[in-house]
A and B are shown apart, each in its own frame.
Chain A
C-alpha cells in the first residue's frame, strides 16, 4: 500500500501539471473547484487520473463535494477505497 504522503504528492503534482498553476497556489486544503482551479472537465480528468494511477473506480453516488473539494478530501476518498 502506498504511503499517505506519496498519494498526496501524486495528486498534488497531477493537479499542478494539468492546470499549469503555481505550486504555492494549491495547498492541501485549497477548495479546488470553488476557487476555479478545476472545472467540470477537470473533474472528469481527475477521475480518469484516479483510475489510472490508483486503479480506483468512482461511482455516481461518490460524486459528492466531500470527496473532491480539496487535496485532503481526495486523499481521504482514495484511502477509503483502498
Chain B
C-alpha cells in the first residue's frame, strides 16, 4: 500500500516528541564518542551562536559537564557579544573547563588579514582596513535563475557604503584568506582534544552540511556532528527545550567572520532560515512546487527557481563533502 504523506504545511518541521529526539541524540553521542571513537569526553568550540550552544548543551547532558571542554576562539574581527554569550552558556550548563584561545596572532602569522585586505583593496581602491568595515554578500534573490555570485561591501566610518561585484581572483583570495580562521580554530580544537583524549564535536546543522556552508578541514573538520541532520528551525526548538539562554536564541545568526556585521542570510542563504527550512524540506521530499508555493505565499515559478538554487548549491559544494579520492 502506498504510504500517504502529510500535506505540506508551515508546521511540517515541528518536532512533536522533542524529549525523545534529544534523548536519542544524547544516546548516539555517548555511543559514537565512547564506543566508536573510544574517546573519554568532548571538546567543543563555542561562539555564542545557536548551533554551538545546542551542541554544547547536548554534550554536557551526554558526557556530564566535567567531561566537556568548551573553547572560545575569538580573533580581532569577532564581536565582543560572542564571548559574553559563550561564557553565559558554559555557566548555564555547568561546564567549568572553559578556555579562551585568541587566534589573532596565528591568523596574522598566516597573513589572513593582509591577504584578505589586499584583495578587497584591489576591488575598492580607497579601502582602508584600519577604519573601514568590510564583508562579502550575495545580492541576488534566491529565486533568480542564475547561480549566485558575491559582491564586496565596504562601510566607511561616516556610514558611506561602497559595493562592487567581486572579480573571480579577488573573490577566491578573500575566501581562501578568511578560511584560515575556521582552519586555525580546528587546529586548536584538535590540540585540546588530543591533549585530553577527547573527541571534537562539530556544530554544523543540516543546511550547513548539505548546502556546503562550512570550510573543508575547518568547521567541517570534526569527529561527530550531532545536529548535522537537523533543520535550523529544529535546532531552535532543541535550544528552547534544553534551556539555552534566551539572548542566544534571540540573536540573529551571523558569520562572525568579516569586520562588518553580516547575517548568514546576506552571506549565503539569500532568504530567512524559517522560509529556507520549509522550502528545502519540500524540495528534499519531492513536494510539488505548486503545493509549497500555496503555503509559502510565493509563485510556483519562484519555488521552482529556489528548488534549482538548492540543487545547484548541493552540486557545487559536493567537493567539500568528499573524502580524498584514492
Contacts and interface: CB of A to CB of B under 8 A. Distances in A.
A44 B140 contact: no
A29 interface: no
Interface size class of A (residues with CB under 8 A): 20 to 34
Nearest to A49: B168
A45 interface: yes
Interface in A3-38: 33-34, 36, 38
B167 interface: yes
B167 A51 contact: yes
Interface in B130-185: 139-140, 144-149, 151, 163, 165-169, 171
Contacts, number: 57
A64 B168 contact: no
A44 B308 contact: no
A59 B165 contact: yes
Nearest to B148: A40
A39 B312 contact: yes
B171 A44 contact: yes
B188 to A, nearest CB: 30
Contact of A43 (B139, B146, B151, B163): B146
A64 B149 CA distance: 11
A48 B308 CA distance: 24
Contacts of B168: 41, 44-45, 47-48
B316 A60 contact: no
B315 interface: yes
A77 B308 CA distance: 23
Residue among B147, B151, B165, B308 facing the most chain A CB atoms (10 A cut-off): B147
A55 B227 CA distance: 48
Given A33-B147, A68-B146, A48 B169 contact: yes
B154 to A, nearest CB: 15
Given A51-B167, A63-B149, A40 B144 contact: no
A34 B304 CA distance: 12
B139 A47 contact: no
Contacts of A40: 147-149, 312, 316
17 contacts: A33-B145, A33-B146, A34-B145, A36-B312, A38-B147, A39-B147, A39-B312, A41-B168, A43-B146, A44-B149, A44-B167, A47-B149, A48-B169, A59-B165, A60-B165, A63-B140, A63-B144
Given A33-B147, A40-B149, A42-B147, 8 more contacts: A40-B148, A41-B316, A43-B147, A44-B167, A45-B168, A64-B146, A68-B146, A69-B145
